[in-house]
Amino acid sequence: MNNIEGQIRQIKTSTISEVFYDFEFLGESDESTIGLVCLTRCEQPNVLVVTEMNKNELSIPDYKIGMKVLIERTAKETGYKDLVFPTIIRYEQKQNDSNKGFQEYLKTYQKPIAVYKSIFNDSQEATQVNNMTIHEFTKAGGRIELLGHLSMYQQLAL
């Protein structure tokens, strides 16, 4: 079993204010999260499906084709025809006043904000507006479905 850890990103579209979610994987190294993927349902964007890419999917040199194969396999396993991979298109860095010195910079530093392609309309952008624990997400009605040999025991019982 591969135990996954992470948090939920709440993402809001810029024009029609629709909300969807993504799972941000956290690990001690990049190797511990390689191949882990979160897919979101378009029709129920508070349902996340977390799975692992298999060896065949990981070996496909074209990233877009590999993701398409993964989504098709996951759709067959779950019966969900509306799965999408939330795509980050850039990160926006908050501007800090660098003239105040390093200690003041550390006090006011904020992580860059993820900007996504909207899962509802490819021509729109969506911005991360909040981070949630897994417990907060599920308490608010969100659901995380794990496929394969994955487990998630932390944060659920809080």
Question: CA-to-CA distance for 94 and 110, rounded, in angstroms?
Answer: 7
Of residues 106 and 123, more confidently modeled: 123
Residue-wise pLDDT tens digits, 6-26: 999 999 998 878 999 999 998
For 19-23, 75-79, 106-110, 112-116, which range has the lowest pLDDT when averaged over its residues?
Answer: 106-110
| Residues 38, 23 contacting (CB under 8 angstroms) | yes
Helices (H), the chain: 55-59, 63-78, 102-108, 134-139
Q: 74-112: string of b/e by CB count within 10 Å (b at 16+)?
A: beeebebeebbbbeeeeeeeeeeeeeeeeeeeeeeeeee
What pLDDT band is residue 155 in, cutting at 50, 70 and 90?
A: very low
Question: CA-to-CA distance for 56 and 107, rounded, in angstroms?
Answer: 45
According to the model, what pLDDT value does residue 4 have? 87
| Token pair recorded at residue 91 | 């990160």
What pLDDT band is residue 153 in, cutting at 50, 70 and 90?
A: low
According to the model, what pLDDT value does residue 154 have? 55
The whole-number average pLDDT for the span 111-124 is 91
Q: How far is CA 1 from the centre of its chain?
A: 21
